[in-house]
Amino acid sequence: MADGTHGPGDRKDPPDDEAQLSARLQRLGERLGNASRASENATSPRQTADMSAFARGFRLSTELVAGVVVGALIGWLLDRWLGISPWGLIVFLLFGFAAGILNVMRAAGVVRDRQL
């Protein structure tokens, strides 16, 4: 099968061509290895991804809502189990709101992750 390389008709000796090609491939491999090692050495992971403004906006709103929903859910369940209605809901809704705000600030990159 054709392996994708164009066989040049004007070259006399195919073995030499092959050797040249493999040498070039090796050099390319070294360069690629260097490049990927360089990118791996960048240890600080990039947290902000480039995406469209629409996706970003949608992401931020869902982060906030998710925090509030989790807080409300935990509060409601605690109320049912412990019979302390409505205090569980009130307190956990507030905490959930705080968690949602934290999510949003993290997602927006206002707060660097893990250092508040």
Partner 1 sequence: MAVDPIEQFQIHNLFPVATVGHTEIFFTNSAAFMLAAVAGITAFLLIGTTKRSLVPTRLQSAAELAYEFVATTLRGTAGSEGMKFFPFIFTLFMFILTVNMIGLIPYTFTVTSHIIITAALAITVFLTVVVYGLVRHGLHFFNLFVPKGVPIYILPLIVFIEVLSFISRPISHSVRLFANMLAGHITLQVFAGFIILMGTGLGAIGWAASVLPFALVVILFALETLVAFLQAYVFAILTCIYLNDAIHPGH
> Under rule CB under 8 A, which residues in 57-116 are in contact with partner 1?
58-59, 62-63, 65-67, 69-71, 74, 95-96, 98-100, 102-103, 106, 114-116
Residue 62 or residue 76: which is nearer to partner 1 going by CB?
A: 62
* 67 C-beta neighbours (distance < 10 Å), count: 20
> Under rule CB under 8 A, which residues in 3-42 are in contact with partner 1?
3-5, 39-40
Residue 13 or residue 40: which is nearer to partner 1 going by CB?
A: 40
DSSP 44: S
Which residues, at least 6 apart from 86, have a Cβ–Cβ distance to it below 8 Å? Answer: 79
Where b means 16+ CB within 10 Å and e means fewer, 93-110 reads beebeebbeebbebbeee
List of residues contacting partner 1 (CB under 8 A) = 1-5, 39-40, 43, 45-47, 49, 51-52, 54-55, 58-59, 62-63, 65-67, 69-71, 74, 95-96, 98-100, 102-103, 106, 114-116
